Amino acid sequence: MLIIQLMDPAERLQYRKGTLIRNTAIAINKMSNIFNMDGLGIRFTGKTPSLVFLNKLFSNDAFKSSWNKITLDGIEFNSEIVNFFLNMADPFKEFQICHSDMPLDFKHKNAFKFGSNDYGDARWVTLNDILKIRYVENVTFARTTLTSNHVRHFISYWINCPDDMFSYMSIIAMETIQLGGLFNELIVLEYHDSPRSMIYFTLAKSTTRDFKLLFIYHEANYVVLTAREPSEVVKYGNLVKEFKNVYKIMELLEKKKTLEKEFEETTDATKWRELSNRIQESKRRIHELGVVYLDGRATI
């Protein structure tokens, strides 16, 4: 992706002929003839751009057809400007606001309708807002007023939701997030990342979701939630090797739990022996994939 940085036109040197927009558009077109461009990232810094400038910019074919990411970096919040971009929301494009305070009462129906939605100041975001998110790639909330209970409720909702909500979400809550007891009724695989952080794997409850493998990273007041297709290798730092069989392990853990339930309910001796053998076989395969049990919890 080609990234260009735009400031207020009055602060930029311009060629003698043409305008900043026209000259930049010419340069973009020439570069696109030299190499393949997968999109144009536009970063606005410094002085807040005017609506007049933005309308001219995005009426130019070179910008209108090629942009795929907008970043407002350190610009004083202006609702008209932000609304201008949110009204252009596209599930295949990205929007980011960073180093800028946003009003606590901010609302827009398209606030989470881009493919990637990144807000450095998300104190205006409520639990009700994030429960409505559907079918996006990325959501990043760097600063929020969400509490531990809000995050717990949201994670539970996400696991049980019949729809794919997002592929990646990160949240920094206003307090330490307590996840104790949240997974008691779920089949969970744990990874002890460090003394301060923990990784949990579980499966989405709905069979209609494409991204069934769920990954939860937790440290203090920070969580990262990711959803992956069963065929994807979960990547986290240098731990790809450890995590490559996670979905297979989760399937085996679910199978073992189902067999154990049948084992407890059966009164037939022949069925009892058959189930016992199948449970032992499941345990053997789980162990071969590197799973151990710590305090009764499956861990890799």
* CA–CA–CA angle 102, 104, 108 (5° rounding): 75
Is 70 exceeded by the pLDDT of residue 153?
yes
Q: What is the pLDDT of residue 234?
A: 72
Beta-carbon count within 10 A of 85 CB: 20
Averaged pLDDT, 277-287: 96
The residue behind tokens 């610009």 is 75
Q: What is the pLDDT of residue 238?
A: 66
Q: What is the pLDDT of residue 212?
A: 96
Determine, yes or no, domain membership for 50.
Answer: no
Q: What is the pLDDT of residue 11?
A: 42
Handedness of CA 27, 28, 30, 34 (dihedral sign): positive
Determine, yes or no, domain membership for 272.
Answer: yes
Q: What is the pLDDT of residue 57?
A: 87
Determine, yes or no, domain membership for 263.
Answer: yes
Is 70 exceeded by the pLDDT of residue 2?
no
- The answer to whether the beta carbons of residues 225 and 211 sit under 8 Å apart is no
Q: What is the pLDDT of residue 15?
A: 38
Q: What is the pLDDT of residue 17?
A: 43
Is 90 exceeded by the pLDDT of residue 20?
no
Is 90 exceeded by the pLDDT of residue 102?
yes
The band of 30, judged by pLDDT with boundaries at 50, 70 and 90, is low
Q: What is the pLDDT of residue 12?
A: 46
Which range, of 60-64, 116-120, 157-161, 254-258, averages the lowest pLDDT? 60-64
Q: What is the pLDDT of residue 241?
A: 60
Determine, yes or no, domain membership for 261.
Answer: yes
The band of 40, judged by pLDDT with boundaries at 50, 70 and 90, is confident
The band of 46, judged by pLDDT with boundaries at 50, 70 and 90, is confident
Q: CA nearest 200: which of 225, 181, 177, 164? A: 225
Determine, yes or no, domain membership for 279.
Answer: yes
Averaged pLDDT, 8-18: 44
Is 60 exceeded by the pLDDT of residue 4?
no
Q: Is 1 helix (H, G, I), strand (E, B) or coil?
A: coil
At a CB cut-off of 8 Å and minimum separation 6, what does 271 contact?
none
At a CB cut-off of 8 Å and minimum separation 6, what does 112 contact?
129, 130, 132, 133, 136, 139
Q: What is the pLDDT of residue 265?
A: 92
Beta-carbon count within 10 A of 276 CB: 14
Averaged pLDDT, 26-32: 58
Averaged pLDDT, 173-201: 94
pTM of the model as a whole:
0.87
CA atoms within 13 A on the CB side of 235: 3
Determine, yes or no, domain membership for 256.
Answer: yes
At a CB cut-off of 8 Å and minimum separation 6, what does 182 contact?
152, 155, 156
Q: What is the pLDDT of residue 114?
A: 98
Averaged pLDDT, 32-39: 63
How many domains does the chain fold into? 1
Determine, yes or no, domain membership for 283.
Answer: yes
Q: What is the pLDDT of residue 31?
A: 57
User: In this prediction, what percent of the chain has a pLDDT beyond 70?
Assistant: 85
Is 90 exceeded by the pLDDT of residue 52?
yes
Determine, yes or no, domain membership for 29.
Answer: no
Is 90 exceeded by the pLDDT of residue 263?
yes
Q: Hey, what amino acid is at 185?
A: E
Average pLDDT value over all residues in the chain:
89
The band of 164, judged by pLDDT with boundaries at 50, 70 and 90, is very high
- Name the residue range of residue 262's domain: 245-300
The band of 169, judged by pLDDT with boundaries at 50, 70 and 90, is very high
The band of 65, judged by pLDDT with boundaries at 50, 70 and 90, is confident
Q: CA nearest 21: which of 71, 45, 51, 55? A: 55
